[in-house]
Amino acid sequence: MNSPAVVPADHAAAAPVTVAHKFGGSSLADAGCFRRVAANLRERSEREQVIVVSAMQGVTNALLALADAAVAQTNDWQNDWAALRDRHLAAAAALTGEASETQDWLQLRFEELHGLLNALSVLGAPSREALELIQGLGEVYSARLLADHFRREGEACACLDAREVLLVAHGELGVSVDWPASSARLADWRSAHPEPRIVVTGFVARNAQGRATTLGRNGSDYSGAIFAALFDAAELHIWTDVDGVLSADPRVVPEAVPLATLSYHEACELAYFGAKVIHPQTMTPALARGLPIYIRNTFRPHLPGTRIAAESTPDGPVKGLTLCPDLALLNVEGAGMIGVPGTAQRVFAALRVAGVSVVMISQGSSEHSICCVVRAAESARAQTAVADEFAAELARGQLQSIGVVPDISVLAAVGDGMAGTPGVAARLFDSLARARVNVRAIAQGASERNISVALASKDAERALRAAHAGFWLSPQTISIGVIGPGKVGAALLEQLQEAIPRLRREANLDLRLRALANSRTMWLDPLGHAPEHWQAHLDGATEACDLARFAAHVRTEHLPHAIILDCSASDHVAAHYADWLAQGIHVITPNKHAGAGPWPRFQAIRAASAATGARFRYEATVGAGLPVIQTLRDLLDTGDSLHSVEGIFSGTLAWLFNRYDGRMPFSELVHEAHALGYTEPDPRDDLSGTDVARKLVILAREAGLPVSLEQVRVESLVPASLAGVSREDFMARLGEGDAAMQARHAQATAAGKVLRYVARLDQSGDAQVGLVELPGDHAFAHLRLTDNVVQFSTRRYASNPLVVQGPGAGPEVTAAGVFADLLRVASSLGARV
Catalytic residues: 695
List alpha helices for 56-178, DSSP H: 59-71, 76-96, 101-123, 128-135, 137-152
Region of 364 please: left (phi>0), alpha (psi -120 to 50) or beta.
beta
Element spanning 48, H or E: strand 48-53
Closest CA to 436 of 399, 417, 463, 467: 463
What is the C-alpha separation between 459 and 408, in angstroms, rounded? 9
Q: Are 268 and 280 in contact (CB under 8 A)?
A: yes
Q: Are 800 and 820 in contact (CB under 8 A)?
A: no
What is the C-alpha separation between 226 and 220, in angstroms, rounded? 10
Q: Are 226 and 186 in contact (CB under 8 A)?
A: no
What residues contact 82, with CB distance under 8 A and at least 6 apart?
none
Partner residues linked to 333 by β-bridges: 369, 401
List alpha helices for 124-231, DSSP H: 128-135, 137-152, 179-192, 219-230
Q: Are 491 and 814 in contact (CB under 8 A)?
A: yes
Element spanning 620, H or E: helix 620-623
Q: Are strands 204-206 and 197-201 parallel, antiparallel or unpaired?
A: unpaired
Closest CA to 691 of 733, 653, 661: 653
Report helix, strand or coil for 105.
helix
Query: Distance between terminal CA atoms of the chain?
Result: 67
Closest CA to 695 of 772, 784, 788: 788
Closest CA to 459 of 479, 438, 430, 433: 438
What residues contact 653, with CB distance under 8 A and at least 6 apart?
686, 687, 692, 717, 757
Question: What residue type is 57 in one-letter code?
Answer: Q
What is the C-alpha separation between 593 and 575, in angstroms, rounded? 8
Q: Are 658 and 785 in contact (CB under 8 A)?
A: yes
Distances from the Cα of 772 to the Cαs of 691, 754, 768, in angstroms?
A: 17, 8, 11
Q: What share of the chain is helix, strand, coil (3-state, %, to 5)?
A: 45, 25, 30
Q: Are 684 and 730 in contact (CB under 8 A)?
A: yes
